[in-house]
A and B are shown apart, each in its own frame.
Chain A
Amino acid sequence: MTAQRVATIVSGVLLVALAGCTSFYEIAVETPIQPKLDVSGFQRVLVAGFIAGGTEDVDTNLETVRLLRSQLQSKSSLKVIDADVLPLMEIAIEQSKTPTETGGAADGQQEAPQQITKIKDEKDLQNFERIFANVNFWKRIGEEYQNPLIVTGTVLFTPHQRSGFVTREQEVWDTFGRRRTVPTRTYTERKGFILRPKFIFIDGRTGTTMYSESFREEILYSAQQNTPALSSYFELMDRLLPSFLSTLSTQKIRGTRVLLK
């Protein structure tokens, strides 16, 4: 019997013995996450529009509506209403001129929306937020579309710059020509975007807010890299879409666990 044959037999025996002794098994699990909102009372959802601001390179209102509608179409049981996107900013400005409307006239604490021509930061956005408390307005929208769940809110997508030390892996070769990587800290100028959406869920039957949730996502690239604003917008939205969808529908989180004998 050759040494090779002995080795094969020994490794075979060891393998069989090991299989017999296995006391744990890795198994794939899909953990269902129940939705944050009970939407069983709705058959339809209307992604109405957003008060949007920040960079002018992206029509954030339109892009957000389109993206959320397509996601809801494929990942929720609600029927998505295909309607014109509401120009909420203009509507909010109009409403601020009519003092009789709930949440309409300026109360002296905030700047009136009609004085703001462009939303640059969160402070500007706050001046428009009263539109979401205008129960009559949202009830009217609800009646128009047969009492759906209404998704609206604010989206701020702003350019951002930051410089500082960044740790990178750098390749080095030793005297024997062997390659290895070492972490090096370098001062880098970086630029990118910050996305700050606030999603508001309104009951189309009553016009009242059921739930709202705010997010903040940030991306930075090397200053030399020229990434289009729209690409950054989708990259950032992609990160928070699972959280948005988990508000309305059951999501499954895939993972692995260990079963023991």
Chain B
Amino acid sequence: MSPRSFALAVLLVAIVGAPAFADARTQAKEQVEFGIAVAQRGLWKEAMYRWERAAEIDPGYAAAYNNLAVAYEHEGRFEKARKAYEKAIELDPKNSMIRQNFDLFKEINDRTKGRDDR
């Protein structure tokens, strides 16, 4: 394959794939926003479900994992919270808000070392 045809192929994939990606992100964002709205009303289980859905729809969406981690933390599921925070940081390493959440979580998690993750 010549460099020109390779570049053309890449461009084609980008053009065809872009709407699909944007669509997944839009759907995931809707789930995330709904999750935030219900979490603000104290409905954490519902929020957790929404953010899990968002992460399934768009596995590259850092905000979904961050929010999911907060929900797990609120429910006392520390191991799951840690994994979700780590995933969020992996996806968006420069996001200071995710890092701040994770630092606060670690502070509490250190106190509970040796206890069950329920």
| Cβ–Cβ contact B115 & A259, under 8 A | no
Per-position binary interface string of chain B over residues 97-118, scored 1 when its CB falls under 8 Å from any chain A CB and 0 otherwise: 1101100100010011011101
Chain B interface size, under 10 / 10 to 19 / 20 to 34 / 35 or more: 20 to 34
| Cβ–Cβ contact B104 & A255, under 8 A | yes
Per-position binary interface string of chain B over residues 49-70, scored 1 when its CB falls under 8 Å from any chain A CB and 0 otherwise: 0000000000000110011001
Given A260-B62, A261-B32, the answer on whether A29 and B116 have CB atoms closer than 8 Å is no
Does A33 touch B at the CB level, under 8 Å? yes
Does A123 touch B at the CB level, under 8 Å? no
Q: Tell me whether chain A's interface is mostly helix, strand or loop, or mixed.
A: strand
Of A27, A29, A34, A246, which is within 8 A of B118 by CB?
A34
A241 nearest CB across to chain B (Å)? 15
Chain A interface size, under 10 / 10 to 19 / 20 to 34 / 35 or more: 10 to 19
Q: In the complex, A38 Cα to B112 Cα: how many Å?
A: 14
Does A185 touch B at the CB level, under 8 Å? no
| Cβ–Cβ contact B108 & A261, under 8 A | no
Does A257 touch B at the CB level, under 8 Å? yes
**Apart from A32-B76, A258-B70, what are 20 other A-B pairs with CB-CB below 8 Å?**
A25-B36, A27-B40, A30-B74, A31-B76, A33-B111, A33-B112, A33-B115, A34-B115, A34-B116, A35-B115, A246-B111, A258-B97, A258-B101, A259-B35, A259-B39, A259-B70, A260-B66, A260-B67, A261-B33, A261-B63
